Amino acid sequence: MGRYVVRRLIQAIPVVLGATLLIHAVVFALPGSPAVARAGADGLPPGAAALLREHYRLGEPFLVQYGHYLAGLFRGDLGVTFAGVPVADLMAGRFQVTVNLVVTALVVEAVAGVGLGLYGALRYGGAQDALVLGVTLVLISVPALVTGFVLQLLLGVRLRQAGVGLFPVAGIAEGWRGYLLPGFVLAASSIAYLARLTRAGLLEALRAGYIRTAVAKGLSRRRVVGLHALRNMLIPLITYLGADLGTLMGGTVITETIFNLPGVGRQLADSIHLREQPVIVGTVTFLVLVYILANLVVDLLYAVLDPRIRHE
Amino acid sequence: MWKTPAPASPAGRPPGGGPLLAVENLHVEFVTRRGVVRAVNGVDCALNAGETLAVLGESGSGKTVTAQAIMGILDTPPARVTRGTIRLRGTDLLGLREEDRSRIRGSRIAMIFQDALSALNPVFTVGAQIGEMFRVHRGLSRRDAERRAVELMDRVRIPDARRRVHDYPHRFSGGMRQRVMIAMAIALDPEVLIADEPTTALDVTVQAQIMELLSELRRESGMGLILITHDLGVVADAADRVAVMYGGRIVENAPVHDIYRAPAHPYTKGLLESIPRAGGKGRALRAVEGSSPDPMAMPSGCVFHPRCSYRQDDCAAGEPPLHPIGPFRGSACHYWREVLHGSHG
């Protein structure tokens, strides 16, 4: 087990290298100069552009820049923003917001997705099942940009005008309630996928031989479905939730921008506008690390959930 | 319709009269998109305590569906029992509420399935799965249930039961997994045990051990055993009586010795002639010509008539009843005398 974890972490190194190299290349290929982008409409004083270029090594070849970055990464240094703030410090302040948002989304996703899926499967072929399929189709089809703004208008503005102030229109000034709408918007399409996965999983599990055995043992339907079927379905569900953590992290870029949440995702969006190369690369590297760790945790959970899998 | 043949003597019957389990005129159909499939069409059979009844038939003959109807584990829908009664010591199981039925299921009638690997839940230990019988039906604590599971595993001769009770099904060999299934089925001392092709998925040597174990458990406990199989060798060794099924009906029902000595239905006779025999080297085996009937379009009259070498003109017209042709013996053939006395073929 311990050896397995170490091996997986070693395997993560080339993934991190590849991801950082790729994102460096993309940022390098962006047209325009970061120094000029920062100055805005007025332009830079003469000489300033050259100074900035030299200080941030913007003139050097791509691979040299990347080498400097990697050297810093090994020392635990994610680089410094153009304003002189270490990227690591910048992230620390924003990380909590993103964690709150993603955890909210995961909980919403797990509860709504599994709930909808089980409901549909247990009424397989009926009107309620068709309704579940219809709802998930809508959730998959409508992009977060649309659901975000529509819900902001309906729940954040209209509902608030009607006297129910549960959902703030944006920001985190009202604490946890500020995460409810963005959490749902972030999770929306994932809810649909999870619901369909759950529905198909339960339908398949109910056809399995061990379910027939469980019925033949004289167990109640509640025990047959809730214990014997559900316990076997957990494996694909946990896999999906783990992999989806990465999707949710990526989705924060849009959701945090729509709802004006000061998290890592909005930081990434802002830094792309400003061509803040160290921030872009640092943020993406960080997201890649979170994704790798989440997948490792999921793989370790397999061994707990499925006794046929052993990590040796 | 023919009923269980009146016994010549009351031997083999439990005191108080009536068999342990009596199935009468059972009809089961499946509603599918293509139409209604009549899987079981008027099955009558009876099982006495301590007796082994072999239900013999090819795939699709309705033997498993009959067993599932007795057990009450048909998938409804698409299946439905349209007619008939299933009495356990006189109580009609089909008339019970689901709640009462599930109390009987597993505790008074238990079942063993063909493929123990898929029939056991992969994510629970065998101890938990055996012990679940005691926890659910008897309200035992986890610790007591586990102790009983170890006793049962000893009883079905799984070596090192005390340690292996914590193992998962995939850690057992095929034969040992079937022993786990058996332990689970006999946990609550059922009166009827249904074994649906319990040895089909196993090696020949393991098959013999499992059959021996089942016979021994039946002798010790006095339960009735319904053995569903298509293996004539298993039938000869283990059964007291045989019910031969074809096209959803019982076509012949007889004590095992009678049926091997002189079959009274052309289908049974065909099956017996298809067995390879020692000393028969170089001689071609005989097969039953044709294939089993399409369940969506059963032949009229006798379901076997299109494949039958004793066929006469009236076979396609009237469905033959199960003629009582001797003590405990019946044949659903108009011409059973000719078949029995071999005056043809």
- Residue B5 reports pLDDT greater than 50: no
Task: From B339, B326, B329, select the one nearest B263 (Cα to Cα).
Answer: B339
The pLDDT assigned to B8 comes to 38
Mean pLDDT on A112-122: 92
A50-100, pLDDT tens digit by residue?
A: 777 777 667 778 888 888 888 887 787 777 777 778 878 888 878 888 889
CB within 8 Å: B106 and A213: no
User: Complex ipTM, two decimals?
Assistant: 0.85
- Residue B283 reports pLDDT greater than 70: no
Q: What is the DSSP string of A120-148?
A: HHHTTTSHHHHHHHHHHHHHHHS-HHHHH
How many angstroms separate the CA atoms of A183 and A168, rounded?
Answer: 13
The pLDDT assigned to B6 comes to 42
B138-176, pLDDT tens digit by residue?
A: 999 999 999 999 999 999 999 998 999 999 999 999 889
Q: Which 8-state DSSP code applies to residue A177?
A: G
The pLDDT-based confidence of B3 (bands split at 50, 70, 90) is very low
Residue pair A133/A123 in contact (Cβ under 8 Å)? The answer is no
pLDDT over 70, % of chain B: 92
How many angstroms separate the CA atoms of A242 and A299, rounded?
Answer: 9
Q: Which 8-state DSSP code applies to residue B7?
A: P
Considering only residues A203 and A52, tell me which one the structure prediction assigns the higher pLDDT.
A203
The pLDDT assigned to A192 comes to 93
Question: Measured in whole angstroms, how far is the alpha carbon of residue A272 from the centre of its chain?
Answer: 18
How many angstroms separate the CA atoms of B141 and B131, rounded?
Answer: 9
Range in B95-104, B128-137, B304-313 the model is least confident about:
B304-313
CB within 8 Å: A216 and B71: yes
- Residue B4 reports pLDDT greater than 70: no
Task: From A23, A89, A19, A2, select the one nearest A280 (Cα to Cα).
Answer: A23
How many angstroms separate the CA atoms of B59 and B111, rounded?
Answer: 19
Apex A159 CA angle, A154 and A160, nearest 5: 120
The pLDDT assigned to A119 comes to 92
Helix (H) or strand (E) holding B47, with range, is: strand B35-47
How many angstroms separate the CA atoms of B200 and A277, rounded?
Answer: 67
Q: Which of B65, B73, B180 to mutate to test the interface with A (most CBs of A within 10 A)?
A: B73
Mean pLDDT on B318-328: 83
Neighbours of B45 (CB within 10 A): 23
How many angstroms separate the CA atoms of B99 and B78, rounded?
Answer: 21
Considering only CB atoms, which chain B residues are within 8 Å of A305? Answer: 123
Residue pair A197/A237 in contact (Cβ under 8 Å)? The answer is yes
Mean pLDDT on B203-213: 87
Question: Measured in whole angstroms, how far is the alpha carbon of residue A209 from the centre of its chain?
Answer: 37
CA distance A104 to chain B (A): 30
- Token code pair at residue B182: 């058996």
Closest residue in A to B183 (Cα) is A217
Apex A194 CA angle, A286 and A243, nearest 5: 25
- Token code pair at residue A302: 């397999």
* Mean pLDDT rounded to a whole number for chain A: 84
The pLDDT assigned to B2 comes to 46
Q: Which of B102, B114, B200 to mutate to test the interface with A (most CBs of A within 10 A)?
A: B102
The pLDDT assigned to A312 comes to 60
Which member of A216, A231, A307 has the closest CB to residue B105?
A: A216
pLDDT over 90, % of chain B: 31
Task: From B267, B271, B332, select the one nearest B301 (Cα to Cα).
Answer: B332
CA distance A116 to chain B (A): 23
CB within 8 Å: A217 and B124: no
Residues of B with CB under 8 A from a CB of A: 71, 73, 102-107, 110-111, 113, 115, 118-125, 132-133, 136-137, 168, 170, 181, 184
The pLDDT assigned to B7 comes to 41
pLDDT over 90, % of chain A: 20
Considering only residues A300 and A219, tell me which one the structure prediction assigns the higher pLDDT.
A219
Q: Which of A203, A204, A207, A217 to mutate to test the interface with B (most CBs of B within 10 A)?
A: A217
pLDDT over 70, % of chain A: 94
How many angstroms separate the CA atoms of B65 and A121, rounded?
Answer: 25
Mean pLDDT on B305-326: 82
Which member of B107, B118, B170 has the closest CB to residue A218?
A: B107
CA quadruple B188, B191, B197, B198: dihedral positive or negative?
positive
Q: What is the DSSP string of B48-99?
A: -TT-EEEEE--TTSSHHHHHHHHHT---TTTEEEEEEEEEETTEEGGGS-HH
Closest residue in B to A206 (Cα) is B75
CA distance B169 to chain A (A): 9
Q: Tokens 């019988």 map to which residue?
A: B133
Strand partners, A272: none
A222-264, pLDDT tens digit by residue?
A: 899 989 999 888 888 888 888 888 888 888 989 998 888 888 8
B297-312, pLDDT tens digit by residue?
A: 788 888 887 888 877 8
Helices (H), ranges, chain A: 2-29, 34-39, 48-55, 62-74, 87-122, 127-141, 144-151, 159-161, 180-206, 209-216, 221-223, 230-258, 264-273, 277-305
How many angstroms separate the CA atoms of A133 and A120, rounded?
Answer: 8
The pLDDT assigned to A40 comes to 64
CA distance B283 to chain A (A): 41
A8-43, pLDDT tens digit by residue?
A: 888 888 888 888 888 888 877 777 666 666 666 666
* CATH annotation of A91-305: 1.10.3720.10
The pLDDT assigned to B9 comes to 36
The pLDDT-based confidence of B325 (bands split at 50, 70, 90) is confident
The pLDDT assigned to A79 comes to 75
How many angstroms separate the CA atoms of B149 and B138, rounded?
Answer: 13
* Mean pLDDT rounded to a whole number for chain B: 84
Residue pair A189/A180 in contact (Cβ under 8 Å)? The answer is no
CB within 8 Å: B123 and A215: no
Residue pair A81/A278 in contact (Cβ under 8 Å)? The answer is yes
The pLDDT-based confidence of B280 (bands split at 50, 70, 90) is low
The pLDDT assigned to B193 comes to 94
Mean pLDDT on A263-283: 84
Helix (H) or strand (E) holding B194, with range, is: strand B192-196
How many angstroms separate the CA atoms of A171 and A92, rounded?
Answer: 18
Question: Measured in whole angstroms, how far is the alpha carbon of residue A184 from the centre of its chain?
Answer: 13
Residue pair B213/B183 in contact (Cβ under 8 Å)? The answer is no
Considering only CB atoms, which chain A residues are within 8 Å of B65? Answer: none
Residues of A with CB under 8 A from a CB of B: 208-210, 212-220, 223, 228, 231-232, 305-308
Peptide bond into A278 cis (omega under 30): no
Mean pLDDT on B31-49: 87
At B217, the amino acid letter reads: L
Q: Which of A213, A220, A228, A301 to mutate to test the interface with B (most CBs of B within 10 A)?
A: A213
The pLDDT assigned to B152 comes to 92
- Token code pair at residue B58: 């090819």
Considering only CB atoms, which chain A residues are within 8 Å of B111? Answer: 216
CB within 8 Å: B122 and A307: yes
Among A136-145, B278-287, B308-317, name the most confident range: A136-145
The pLDDT assigned to B55 comes to 92
Apex B76 CA angle, B70 and B80, nearest 5: 65
The pLDDT-based confidence of B14 (bands split at 50, 70, 90) is very low
Considering only residues B6 and A75, tell me which one the structure prediction assigns the higher pLDDT.
A75
